[in-house]
Copies of this chain bind each other. A is one copy, B any other.
């Protein structure tokens, strides 16, 4: 990952509403979530939301697909992981480097998608 990509991704996450959006997408999982549902969940104006989606998409942190009238946004976990890897690269020059806290796998939800 290039430094500019990392900066773009970090900037994309470094904003209240976008962080909320991204975390919502992360929790939504691979199926993604409709723009309207996100707008309602976070109480954001649709045009504002579009602006933030664009940022996330340009940063490679999300993708869209159309489904009927809705636009479904999905988080790109691989990019997220690449970013984390980039941040901790060459940590401490190999000295006393506490390993990265692994993500909590999070208890499974009752409704598991196929």
Near B by CB (< 8 A), chain A positions 1-33 give 3-4, 6-7, 10-11, 13-16, 19-20, 23, 26-30
Give Cα A7–Cα B10 distance, bound, in whole angstroms: 9
Q: How many residues of A contact B (CB 8 A)?
A: 50
**Cβ contact within 8 Å between B28 and A3:** no
A99: chain B residues at CB < 8 Å are: 102-103
Decide yes or no: A103 and B85 within 8 Å by CB, A16-B3, A29-B93 being known contacts. Answer: yes
- Using a CB–CB cutoff of 8 Å, the interface residues on chain A facing chain B are 3-4, 6-7, 10-11, 13-16, 19-20, 23, 26-30, 77-78, 80-82, 84-85, 87-109, 112-113
